[in-house]
Amino acid sequence: MLFRSVTPAEDPESVKDVRDHADTIPLTVNQQKVVLDEAYPYLDALEAMRRPLDDALGKLLAAAQFFPRQLEDSAKLVEEQNAELMLKFQEDQAAEQDDFWSAAKNLETTVSELGGFTDMDECAGNAGRVEELQKELKELQAKADLYNSREGMFGAKQTDYGSIKKIADSLDPFYQFWTYAQGWRDGMDRWRDGSFTELDAEAMDRDVTAAFKVMFKMGKSFNQRQLPDCAKNCDAIRAEIEAFRVYVPLALAMRSPGMRDRHWEKIEADAGLLIPATDPEFTFGAAIEMGVKTKEDAIVAVCDVAGKEYGIETALEKMHREWDGIVLEVKEYKETGTYVIRIEDEHAQMLDDQIVMTQAMSFSPFKAPFADEIATWEATLRMTSDVLEEWLEVQRSWQYLEPIFGSDDIMEQLPLEGKRFGAVDRQWRKTLVIAEEDPGVIAACNKKELLELFRESNRVLDGVQKGLAEYLDRKSVV
């Protein structure tokens, strides 16, 4: 269908959509008339030929002729209906607003009484109560925005809903206090009594810091509102937080991702505390009772070392991962029946960067647990770099000499050099077949025998090029 039917709006928001659609009707009608005007000469020709339309086509033509007028009449009717509906919508909203103000008044009264709820034993209940009030407030705020929007459609003066914001301002300190107070107490239970292996120390640090700030801020707010009992509750929670905050640095240190068995053994040796950190039954509360605070310096010192070692461990893992999927570009070279290689500039740069990084690791005072791995990886990178350098040098020489020694004349004139080049050429082809099958940069290049082969190939090709140069010099003189 070229256009959809026009129907009355179901709510004020759909009135604009209906009217926008109605605005397109004149254009649609004109387009329909143009189509009919273009069809009439053909219809006249059919009539002149005594070829009348069958009943189905006749009905279709009649419907098309009358449709523009029907569409205009329908649009006019719908607009009249929508105008009536808009009056009804406005009346309905006025009735809804009466209920709205009643709900707002009830909410304002309830919020004004929150200062009397000060029993911390009812913390969970009060937290649930302010959560419900916050939900009611948001619903009122959403309705206020909707009513203002519809008043614009009605062309009516917008109602001032500033009183809703005042209720929000009144509720806010109670909402924040009870929500964070309950969150703090739930967190304490989870942090102290939950499995140490599951303790998220960083999240705990964020939550503790946020709760402390809220209690300090809400305490000031309650004092300004002359609610001393509420302010005292803030002080009490803040005191609980301050008592626990002293353990947060220890939790952060002990839950460092770099902690390994060797570090817990070191803590046992240095601090005299056997901490079963990997036991799922062990808790941070148990660690506190063990007296970790009295041994904080010794524990944190070990954890700091673990963090430094972890930096090396993760850097090594990252370097290894970076070579996953990195391959030499091995492509056929002209009509030679063999290949040449290419390495991306960014990969060559990564190789150089990793050599520098690994060398720096070898001088780190925290390298001990990874000394062998660092040495092995550095040797791998250096071997790869050296092989690539020699490989590409052989390739440049081979590409220059291959077409020259492909000439029978040169082979006759320089049989010794030709024989030497042929030996390198055969080895080159074997090597490139292997590289084509397994082109991973590290896999293809980390081979000592390949380094020795390419060095020897470069030595031979240097001699071949010298012999060739001397031959060309003699030939030019002759």
| Cβ proximity of 391 and 455 under 8 Å | no
pLDDT for position 4? 47
- Per-residue pLDDT tens listing for the chain (478 residues): 444 444 555 777 666 666 666 667 677 767 777 777 776 676 667 667 766 666 676 667 666 666 667 666 666 766 666 777 778 878 888 888 899 999 999 999 999 999 999 999 999 999 999 999 999 999 999 999 999 988 887 878 889 999 999 999 999 999 999 999 999 999 999 999 999 999 999 999 999 999 999 999 999 999 999 999 999 999 999 999 999 999 999 999 999 999 999 999 999 999 999 999 999 999 999 999 999 999 999 999 999 999 999 999 999 999 999 999 999 999 999 999 999 999 999 999 999 999 999 999 999 999 999 999 999 999 999 999 999 999 999 999 999 999 999 888 899 999 999 999 999 999 999 999 999 999 999 999 999 999 999 999 999 999 999 999 998 888 877 5
Asked if 175 and 217 touch (Cβ cutoff 8 Å), the reply is no
Q: Which pLDDT value is given to residue 169?
A: 96
- For the chain, how are helix, strand and coil distributed in percent, rounded to 5? 80, 5, 20
What is the reported pTM?
Answer: 0.74
Class of 329-477 in CATH: mainly alpha
Q: How far is CA 238 from CA 193, 217, 232, 235, in A?
A: 21, 11, 10, 5
pLDDT at residue 66, rounded to an integer: 64
* Count of CB atoms situated within 10 Å of the CB of 432: 20
Please, are residues 114 and 171 in contact by the beta-carbon 8 Å criterion?
A: yes
Angle, helices 448-477 vs 415-437, to 10°: value is 150
